[in-house]
Amino acid sequence: MTKRTEAVEAFRITEMLSSDIPDVLAIEQHSNPEPWTPESFLEELLRPHSQLLVARVPAEFGEMVAGYLCFWLVADEVQILNIAVHQAYRRQGIGRALLVHCLNFGFEKKTRKAVLEVRSSNLTAQHLYRSLGFLVVGQRPDYYGGGGEHAVLMELSMAAQRASGKHERWSKFDQFVATDRS
């Protein structure tokens, strides 16, 4: 087993702390064409309905943040605002684990659906969202700055997940959680 594989096996999902922001920003700069600023993350940490998670690689593997996710719990919806994984740790299940943790949280809070927007060119992320049960429900033309790229709107129905029993399969990806979700 390589060192990186062991590190990925050992990651834990916990709440983001303000001390994580430098690590998070380093990932954000390489992941988001319109990166969030330190202030954006600090604002989210203070917002009551905002939840910020990190996938944390433990001390024996050089403690660092390997990925993060920000979502809001508003009324009966989970709104996913931002997700990224460090380039060195991609395609190893961390993005999926962060999303599953967020969806399970929404499921337990009896939300009706999860919603998100994704760049039309970002087929990698769209593939991940579809694999979890998100469907395309619309688009916002010329939504992103610069190139005027469209946003694809995607939605996951919690009821449809429950009916299909799919949410039960999420649990196998939710084994890394170290947070108290109460």
Residues that bind ligand COA (CB under 6 A): 31, 83-85, 90-96, 118, 122, 124-125, 127-128, 131
Task: Name the nearest CA neighbour of 95 among 155, 42, 31.
Answer: 31
Nearer CB in complex with ligand COA: 42/88: 88
Rounded to whole angstroms, how far apart are CA atoms 48 and 163?
A: 31
CB of 137 to ligand COA, least distance (A): 15
Q: CB neighbours of 44 closer than 8 A, spacing ≥ 6?
A: 50, 52, 70, 81
Q: Which residue is nearest to ligand COA (CB)?
A: 95
Nearer CB in complex with ligand COA: 96/110: 96
CB of 90 to ligand COA, least distance (A): 3
Torsion of CA 33, 153, 56, 108, to 10 degrees: 160
Nearer CB in complex with ligand COA: 88/163: 88
